[in-house]
Amino acid sequence: MKTLKLSLQFLALFLIAANVHAQTADEIIAKNIEAMGGKEKINSITSLYMENTMSIMGNESVSTTIILNGKGAKTKSDVMGQTMVQCYTDKGGWMINPMAGSTAATVMPDDQYKPGKSQITIGESFMDYAAKGNKVVLIGKEKVQNVEAFKLKVTTSDSITTFYYIDPSTYYIVQTTLIANMMGQQMEIVTTLSDYKKTDFGYVVPYTYNINYGDQFGLVMQLKKIEFNKPVDPSIFELGNML
C-alpha cells in the first residue's frame, strides 16, 4: 500500500511538472508575440513590403520582398548582375536561379518548398501554432552569443523542424536553426537576428539578419525600408511573373 501511494504521488508530480513545462512554452510564445507588438497588431497586418541590402561573399546586392499574409511571399534579388527570384504561395513555390544555370522560372520541389512556405504567414510559426498543426516543445536554455536563450523546438504539420532561441530579457528571437534542402543538398541554415526596432506601425522587426547556409556560404541582410498593408495584386505570385 505504501509503495502504491508513493507511486501515485510520483505520477501526480510528473503530470504537474509536464503541465508546467507546456505552460512555460506557451508563456514564452505569448511574451514573444507581445514583444513584437501584440496579437491584435500582428493580425492587423495584411501585407508587408521590404527593401534590403545584402552582402554575399564580398559582393553587395539589393532585394525586395512582398508578403501577402497567408497567400504568398516573393523575394527578388540582384546578385552579381543576375536576377534571382524565390516565390512561395499557399499552394506551392517557384524560383529563378541563374546561379544554378537557368534563367527560366521552375517549380520548386517539395523538399525546398516546405521549409520555406512559413514565410507567407506574418508571425511565422508562433501565431496560432496549434491551429496550424504545429507542435512546440521547450527544450530548455542554450547559450547563443552572450545570451542564455530559451530554446523552442517547432515542428510543422509537414514535419519541418526549426529551433528558435529567445532572449529571456526581451523575448525577441535571437537565432533560428532550420534543416532545409538547398540545391539538392540538406543543410543547416542558422539565422542570427539583431537590431530590433519598433516601426511607426507599432510592429517590431529585426533590421539585421546574419544567415549561414551550412559550410556553403553566408550572407548579411539589412532592412532598409518596410511598409505595411500596401495593396498587393495576388497575380504577382503566379509562375514566372517578374513584377
In a domain, 173, yes or no: yes
In a domain, 98, yes or no: yes
In a domain, 242, yes or no: no
The pTM for the full model equals: 0.84
Q: How many domains does the chain have?
A: 1
Q: Please name the amino acid found at residue 105.
A: A
In a domain, 109, yes or no: yes
Domain that holds residue 138: 2-237
In a domain, 243, yes or no: no
pLDDT confidence of residue 182: 64
In a domain, 141, yes or no: yes
Which residue ranges of the chain lie beneath pLDDT 70? 1-23, 124-125, 181-184
pLDDT confidence of residue 183: 62
**CATH number of the domain within which 149 lies:** 2.50.20.10
Rounded distance, CA 133 to CA 155, Å? 9
pLDDT confidence of residue 185: 73
SS3 string, the chain, reads: CHHHHHHHHHHHHHHHHHHHHHHHHHHHHHHHHHHCCCHHHHHCCCEEEEEEEEEECCEEEEEEEEEECCCEEEEEEEECCEEEEEEEECCCEEEECHHHCCCCCEECCHHHHHHHHHHHCCCCCCCCCCCCCCEEEEEEEEEECCEEEEEEEEECCCCCEEEEEECCCCCCEEEEEEEEEECCEEEEEEEEEEEEEECCCCCEEEEEEEEEECCCEEEEEEEEEEEECCCCCHHHHCCCCCC
pLDDT confidence of residue 16: 40
If you average pLDDT over every residue of the chain, what do you get?
87
